[in-house]
Copies of this chain bind each other. A is one copy, B any other.
Amino acid sequence: MIDPQLETRMANAIRALAMDSVEKAKSGHPGMPMGMADVATVLFTRFLKFDVAQPHWPDRDRFILSAGHGSMLLYSILELLGSSVVTMDELKQFRQLHSKTPGHPENFHTTGIETTTGPLGQGLAMSVGFALAERMLAAEFGEDIVDHHTYVIAGDGCLMEGVSHEAIDLAGHLKLNKLIVLWDDNRITIDGHTDLSTSIDQVARFKASGWNAEHVDGFDREAVAAAIERAKASDKPSMIACKTIIGYGAPTKADSHASHGSALGATEIAGAREALHWPYPAFEIPDDVSSAWHDTAKRWIADREAWEARFAAREHNVKSEFKRRFANILPGNFEAAVEAYKRSLSDTKPKVATRKSSEMALDMLTAIVPELVGGSADLTGSNLTRGKPQRPLTPDDYSGRYIHYGIREFGMSAAMNGIAQHGGFAPYGGTFLVFSDYARPAIRLSALTGAPVIYVMTHDSIGLGEDGPTHQPVEHLAALRAIPQLNVFRPADAVEVAEAWQIALESRHNPSLLALSRQNLPVLRVQHSSENKSARGAYLIDGPETADVTLFATGSEVEIAVNAKAKIEAAGRTARVVSVPCFELFFKQDEAYQAATIGNSKVKVAVEAAIRQGWDAFIGNDGIFIGMSTFGASAPIEALYPYFGITADAAADAALKRLDSNT
């Protein structure tokens, strides 16, 4: 038990470091760390099982700073705990190029940070994935080696964002009782008092979603500690509304949005130092406070060592599996199984929708890759995301590996980010491609953080037919290809689907997205090849190395391109077809391969039932594009492709006409 006065000084150390770092940077958010310093001190000194020297210990508690703008709260604490990464020098470099202390916490950049936050609401939504991964892993490996909590600090913004609803509804339903959310209830947002824009009763709201929820005084550390104890003892997830004052200590800017998002200024800081009885110069921590924080850091070493002893005592195969899972290494039989499966496809040539061949791939994969955790945003029978071996995960059975995420595309995607970042699982989840828009903020975070999440997005064009333009993606392939570090696959047949799954699962540092058809497609890769051709991003699928016309296409339109090739040949010209399952991978190939694949045909045509944006890289801005330039329409697929002019005839005619005009 730390002396209360010393503990106050420990909290004030956070406040001072936050003020001073923001002041030095002339940029940042001092208000939240100053308001929540006492709550955070209670959490880190009394509860958070975290060994700063071993930040990757699998059974550590996870701490998610959903209110990511308050990054100095986290950086200050890491420094005070003695992090070798977030040092005092780094605090002095807050928000500078290459520092370990960027404006918002970045787990891909700074060791000791669990996830990347800043886009509001998503830390909370990812925490559901963290907490779920813990329960799933415990169900699989036992609570003796998996038994930790997920703690979240969330702000008003997090709770106003829509994704918070999806997150808390799902967490309450799944009874994730080891998820504990500390809400910084300071009643201030950027525009002013929360009265400007909300009147919600958050405690009642969380209770309605199956949570514990209660109010505490965020400066009463014993009350905070007691509330956390109650939360830990509960069979539900818990939200603790911590009444605080933003910028606590600042003489004129406390309790005002003036302390939210900019440096306080020298006068205000001097006043705060006085109010907080903190006479030390900037970036100086007195020895007693420093020692107390270092003692806190040491507190969990024994727990970690005890865990290591328990882990060492487990069966060899359990240990190796656990390590394999946290190392993100696929099972040894993975490659051979994919190879055999691909061979069977080239043999049997199933003419099925790529969503269906994805399901066939999943039937095989889920049997051999136990880390696969699937799900859908309530479109299981449409996305075909459930592998045969998968049982549903329920509040009473966390050993299921299929999650009914509900109609929550964004919440699902954020949860998958959390599952992936927790470690131990390879999450994938489905929705319609058009609803990638709903999930987009989370897809971006997958990409930014390098979380190996796999998005299974079906009904990938006007080919979905009658549901009409609200459900027909047109701009989505381009918009998704625009995201850095995301591999977007649009496989043309069952073989390319298998290859896309293989690449996605082997990509352990970036997310992948599979755009899959509703309609049936023939197998075009009728000759088995051991090589994963899709890994080249684009390759010659039909025809000679050189020809009068090169047709580039993806997904369901590769068949159209192949048919167009036949029509061009019937007219006495030559043609070749390049399948382009993944733009991103193609542009990573060497120049010679790119040049040979694109070829030097006089006429280049791209066929994709989507917009042109991005295709000029293949066909040039004078190339022929057969695709969409408007939103779609509600009609059967048989009517839509001709209506929008996406046919083999249209492609062949345009190519031949261009050839004639060129000669």
Residues of A whose CB lies within 8 Å of any CB of B are 25, 27-28, 68-69, 95-99, 102-104, 106, 116-120, 156-157, 160-166, 169-170, 172-173, 189-192, 196-202, 204-205, 207-210, 376, 378-382, 392, 404-408, 410-411, 434-435, 437-438, 440-441, 444-445, 447-448, 465-471, 474-475, 478-479, 481-485, 611, 613-614, 616-618, 620-621, 629-631, 633-636, 639-640, 643
CA distance A404 to B636 in the complex (A): 43
- Known contacts: A613-B482, A640-B97. The answer to whether A406 contacts B103 by CB under 8 A is no
Among B96, B469, B479, contact of A448 (Cβ-Cβ < 8 Å): B469
Q: Are A407 and B478 in contact, CB atoms less than 8 angstroms apart?
A: no
Q: Are B104 and A467 in contact, CB atoms less than 8 angstroms apart?
A: yes
CA distance A118 to B432 in the complex (A): 12
CA distance A484 to B612 in the complex (A): 11
* Interchain nearest-CB distance for A151 vs B (Å): 21
When distances are taken between beta carbons in the complex, the residues of chain B under 8 Å from A210 are 199-200
Quick one: closest B residue to A440, CB to CB?
Answer: B437
Q: Are A157 and B205 in contact, CB atoms less than 8 angstroms apart?
A: no
- Known contacts: A95-B466, A204-B204. The answer to whether A189 contacts B406 by CB under 8 A is yes
Q: Are B103 and A468 in contact, CB atoms less than 8 angstroms apart?
A: yes
* Interchain nearest-CB distance for A506 vs B (Å): 22
When distances are taken between beta carbons in the complex, the residues of chain B under 8 Å from A191 are 376, 378-381, 404
- Known contacts: A469-B448, A475-B483. The answer to whether A169 contacts B161 by CB under 8 A is no
When distances are taken between beta carbons in the complex, the residues of chain B under 8 Å from A437 are 119, 440-441, 444
CA distance A166 to B204 in the complex (A): 16
CA distance A95 to B466 in the complex (A): 5
Quick one: closest B residue to A414, CB to CB?
Answer: B162
When distances are taken between beta carbons in the complex, the residues of chain B under 8 Å from A640 are 97
Q: Are B621 and A616 in contact, CB atoms less than 8 angstroms apart?
A: yes
CA distance A475 to B441 in the complex (A): 12
When distances are taken between beta carbons in the complex, the residues of chain B under 8 Å from A469 are 102, 106, 448
When distances are taken between beta carbons in the complex, the residues of chain B under 8 Å from A199 are 169, 172-173, 209-210
When distances are taken between beta carbons in the complex, the residues of chain B under 8 Å from A103 are 466-468, 470-471, 634
* Interchain nearest-CB distance for A112 vs B (Å): 17
When distances are taken between beta carbons in the complex, the residues of chain B under 8 Å from A483 are 475, 479
Residue pairs across A and B with Cβ atoms less than 8 A apart, 8 shown, are A96-B634, A117-B470, A162-B408, A173-B200, A191-B380, A192-B404, A208-B208, A437-B440
* Interchain nearest-CB distance for A287 vs B (Å): 32
CA distance A588 to B170 in the complex (A): 46
Q: Are A102 and B633 in contact, CB atoms less than 8 angstroms apart?
A: yes
By Cβ-Cβ distance, the 5 closest A-B pairs, closest first, are A162-B162, A197-B406, A102-B634, A165-B165, A616-B616
When distances are taken between beta carbons in the complex, the residues of chain B under 8 Å from A96 are 634-636, 639
When distances are taken between beta carbons in the complex, the residues of chain B under 8 Å from A156 are 407
